[in-house]
């Protein structure tokens, strides 16, 4: 019985840590981000990259919604972060393609996402 309680306690702690980690990532993500750099799999002229960056923002809310505006295009929908906080999945409600991004970096001030050879770097909007 003592071993069962010990294992149950360990399992509860592991579950709590798992939920806390992904919850922490979602909490860090829930803000407005300014797109500061875009690296594409195919080289683009600087003029095109500048137009894509112009006014581009990605906003994620605490209730799982997102909104994208600016030169990178407009989109909105819902998002989820996986339990390991390694992947961000978006489901568009604006008719755009759903996507899965690898979260390369997520801090209070910086977000780096990768998808199909493209890298999007964002800074937290103050």
Q: What is the CATH number of the domain that holds 6?
A: 2.40.128.280
The 3-class SS string of 18-38 reads: HHHHHHHHHHHHCCEEEEEEE
pLDDT tens readout for residues 51-61? 999 999 999 99
pLDDT tens readout for residues 21-50? 456 888 999 999 999 999 999 999 999 999
Percent above pLDDT 90 for the chain: 79
Number of independent structural domains in the chain: 1
Domain that holds residue 57: 2-124
How long a stretch of residues is the chain?
Answer: 126
Backbone angles phi, psi at 47, to 5 degrees: -65, -40
Handedness of CA 3, 6, 7, 8 (dihedral sign): positive
């Amino acid at each position: 019985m003592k071993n069962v309680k010990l294992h149950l306690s360990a399992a509860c702690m592991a579950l709590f840590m798992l939920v806390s980690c992904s919850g922490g990532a979602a909490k860090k993500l829930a803000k407005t981000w300014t797109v500061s750099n875009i690296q594409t799999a195919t080289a683009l002229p600087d003029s095109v990259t500048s137009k894509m960056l112009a006014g581009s923002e990605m906003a994620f809310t605490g209730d799982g919604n997102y909104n994208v505006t600016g030169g990178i295009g407009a989109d909105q929908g819902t998002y989820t972060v996986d339990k390991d906080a390694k992947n961000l999945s978006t489901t568009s409600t604006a008719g755009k393609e759903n996507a899965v991004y690898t979260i390369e970096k997520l801090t209070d001030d910086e977000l780096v996402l990768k998808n199909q050879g493209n890298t999007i770097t964002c800074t937290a909007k103050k």
